[in-house]
Structure 1
């Protein structure tokens, strides 16, 4: 499975390579903007960091607002989501192909949190009109090799078992990721400490229970031993008396 996901990533990098080469000759803002449209529309292009780093694409940031918005659009395809796109009304209009691709990439980001994978949440986050439209998007993502998942129609959830590493890291996100991992590590340590304390308490109670059971068994055994001794003594005296009475009668 991991090897297959690596192949998908390599396939996406290979698909982007021609546009990286074309960026070297995209010497005008219009040509660079058109290249962004072509790259985000092409089949199998799902990673864009290397294209973003090319000088002619970066130069869009310092040109007119009309062309700068294509750089913003490419950044959203690289690490953003559908909601990032819809929250900015000044971005270029997407073709149907681009819309599907951005929703697929957004789905990969949403998969990082299992609580996001209900139909209700996904329909809202991806701005899809019906559950069937969501299911079609998930199925297309599965066939594209972007993720491994099953549709739980009864529970209205998407059960995801693996996701391809196709999302680029947003600049400045490393410190946030480190902080998140440190917080997660701290919680794990706390949970382990609680589990160890609980285990010690369970062992203590088990030992106490065994001690009480042992004392109870000893007490029962002692009482039974004393009872048997008294029974034998009484039986012996009664037997002697009976024999004596029998002899006197004769």
Structure 2
């Protein structure tokens, strides 16, 4: 079990490192935005806070054309699905993969908040189901 957990963490770090490398190698904000979009759409990446600390990612905030990708990354790093309506005009349209992933992250957040149990009703309400 410990070995499996360590292997999972190593794979996660490798994935984050690969996206950070792609961001660092990006020559313009369009490419940085694309890296963020790809990371969020990745099947295996579910934590995004590390990406927010990158200088090129931070620079997206100051670009009217690209700020929505920074906001999108913030949503996936620290937000929940119920934040989407308020951010609708500040983020790119979510595709099906993004909706599913954000719902999964929201469910994990709910479970962490409630520690013991969460009702199906509360979960469905938070996930807009």
Give the TM-score taking structure 2 as reference length. 0.85
CA RMSD in angstroms comes to 2.0
Q: Give 1:2-13 correspondences, 5 Å limit.
A: 4-13=4-13
Q: Please tell me whether the aligned partners of residues 27 and 56 of structure 1 are also in contact (alpha carbons under 8 angstroms).
A: no
Q: Please tell me whether the aligned partners of residues 23 and 56 of structure 1 are also in contact (alpha carbons under 8 angstroms).
A: yes
Residue ranges of structure 1 left out of the alignment (5+ in a row): 129-250
Q: How many residues align?
A: 127
Say if 1:7 and 1:110 are closer, same or farther in 2 by CA, change over 3 A.
Answer: farther
Name the residue aligned to 1:95.
95
The structure in which a higher percent of residues are strand is 1
Q: Please tell me whether the aligned partners of residues 13 and 47 of structure 1 are also in contact (alpha carbons under 8 angstroms).
A: no
How far apart, CA to CA, are the structure 2 residues paired with 1:117 and 1:52? 30
Name the residue aligned to 1:167.
none
Higher normalized contact order (CA 8 Å, seq sep 6+, divided by chain length)? 2
Deviation at 1:6, TM superposition (A): 4.9
Q: Which protein has the larger Cα radius of gyration, Structure 1 or Structure 2? A: 1
Per-residue CA shift, 1:120-147, capped at 9, x if unaligned?
111110112xxxxxxxxxxxxxxxxxxx
Name the residue aligned to 1:47.
47
Q: Give 1:37-76 correspondences, 5 Å limit.
A: 37-64=37-64, 66-76=65-75
Per-residue CA shift, 1:84-123, capped at 9, x if unaligned?
2232111111111111111111111100214772111111
Say if 1:38 and 1:86 are closer, same or farther in 2 by CA, change over 3 A.
Answer: same
Give the TM-score taking structure 1 as reference length. 0.47
Deviation at 1:75, TM superposition (A): 1.0
